[in-house]
Amino acid sequence: MNDERIEKKILLCVSGGIAVFKAAALTSKLVQKGYQVKVIMTDSAQEFVTPLTFQALSRDHVYVNTFTEPNPEKIAHIDIADWADLVLIAPATANIISKLAHGMADDMMTTTLLATTAPVMIAPAMNVHMYDHPAVQKNMTLLKEYGYKYIEPNEGYLACGYVGKGRMAEPEDLADMIDHHFISQNNQIWHGKKVLVTAGPTQETIDPVRFFSNRSSGKMGYAIAEMAAARGAEVTLVSGPVSLKEPHGVSVIPVRSAKDMFDVVHREFAKMDVVIKAAAVADYRPKEIYEQKMKKTNGDLHIEMERTNDILQSLGGKKTSQLLIGFAAESENIEENAKKKIQKKNLDIIAANSIAEKNVGFQVDTNELNLYFSSGKEVAIPLTTKREAANLLLNEIKTLLEER
C-alpha cells in the first residue's frame, strides 16, 4: 500500500465549522500514512482551531492570507495550487461551496481552488436544513458538473442539536477515500471490471431462536471487496451476517443462509468478470426446520442434517470467461486439499490457509495465504494484515486480467 502514496501531495482546505477538529485528526492520519500535507485555513476556521495546530500536525507552513508570501520568488496560491496531487475541502461549509460554484476568489482558499488543476474532493459539513436548502443543493450539483467529487456527509447528531444529514465524514473514512483515489489511478485495468465477492458465515436455521453457523467474521472478504473497489472495480459484496462496516463504493447484498447465498451468486454470476468466494458457507443444514421453539427434553437431541449446494463447484461448472477464485480454510494437508479443489471446482486460483495456526483465519485481523493457480504457479503471502493480504491477492488477479 505504501508505494501508492510515495510523494503524493494533499492540499487540505479547511473552512469554518465545528468539524475543523476532524480536519486536524485527518491531517495527522494522512501524515502517518506517508502523504505530504499542506493546509489552507479560512478566517472562520481559525476561530475554531489555530493554524499552529495544523502546522504541528502537517509539519509545514499553514496558509491563511492571500497577501502573505513566504517565498518572494513564488506566488503562494499559484505555487500550492500547482503543487497538489489532490485537493480536499474538509470541512466544506455552505459558504465555501457557494463561493466555489460561482467562481469567487476573495481569500487564500478560493483563489487557490480556482487556480488548481488537481482533482478536488469536497466533504460537506453543515446543519441538515442548510444542506437540504435548494440553493446549496444547486451549488453542489453545479460543482459535480464541473467534475468535483463529493464525500457524502453522515447522518447523526449535529453540533446545533439537530439530528440528520450534515455531519462531515469521519477522518478514517476521508483518509480511506484518498487512498482509494491514488490506488485507482495506478490500476486502470480494474476500471469497469465487475467483481463479485462473498464474505462471512451463513446461518442455517433450526428453529426461531437457534441456528448452525461458523466462526467466520467476514473480515477477509470485506477487505478484498474494499481493495477491489479502491482499484476502480464495480464490486458486489454478497455478505452473510457480520458486524462490519460496509466498505466504501461497494454494493452490499445481505444474505443469511447457504441457499440465500447460492441464489444471489448465481443470479449475479453471468455479468461478472471476477468472482472471489471468500465466504465460509455451511456444508450442511438441518433437514427439518421447526416453526416453534424446540423445548428441552430428557436425553440427547439428534438433528438430521442434509448437504447444501456447493456454490463454488456449481460456478466452476458454468463459468465462461470469468476468473473464479476460491478460499480453502484447512486444518491439515493444506496443499493437497487445495490442489484437489482447483481441479474439482474449475478454479483459476485457490487461496488456502491453515486455521490451526495462531493469528491466521477466523476472527482475527491477520492472515497467511498460499495461492495455488490452475497453471501450476504458487505464491506465498506471509503473515500480514487481511487488508494487505487482499491487496497482494488482487495483484495476482490483476496479472491474470492483463494476460487475458
pLDDT 10s digits, 247-258: 988 999 999 999
pLDDT category of residue 3 using cuts at 50, 70 and 90: very low
Q: Is 188-287+305-403 in CATH node 3.40.50.300?
A: no
pLDDT 10s digits, 313-365: 999 999 999 999 999 988 788 889 899 999 999 999 999 988 777 777 787 89
pLDDT attached to residue 397? 97
- What is the average per-residue pLDDT within 61-70? 89
Q: What radius of gyration, in Å, describes the C-alpha atoms of the chain?
A: 25
Mean pLDDT (the chain) is: 91
pLDDT attached to residue 163? 60
Same fold flag, 2-181 and 188-287+305-403: yes
Least confident stretch, 100-104, 163-167, 223-227, 259-263: 163-167
Residues 6+ apart with CB under 8 A from 100: 89, 110, 113, 114, 139, 143, 148
Say if residue 188's pLDDT is above 70: yes
* Binding-site residues from annotation for CTP: 283, 293, 327, 341, 345
46, three cell numbers: 481559525
pLDDT attached to residue 158? 57
Locate the DSSP E strands across 77-150. 86-92, 120-124, 149-150
Rounded to two decimals, what is the model's pTM?
0.77
Residue ranges covered by each domain of the chain: 2-181, 188-287+305-403
At the topology level, CATH places domain 2-181 in Rossmann fold (3.40.50)
Least confident stretch, 132-141, 183-192, 232-241, 382-391: 183-192
160 is catalytic: yes
**Of 56, 105, 115, 160, which residue is the catalytic one?**
160
pLDDT 10s digits, 364-379: 899 999 999 999 999 9
* Binding-site residues from annotation: 283, 293, 327, 341, 345
Say if residue 2's pLDDT is above 60: no
Other Cβ atoms within 10 Å of 145 Cβ, number: 9
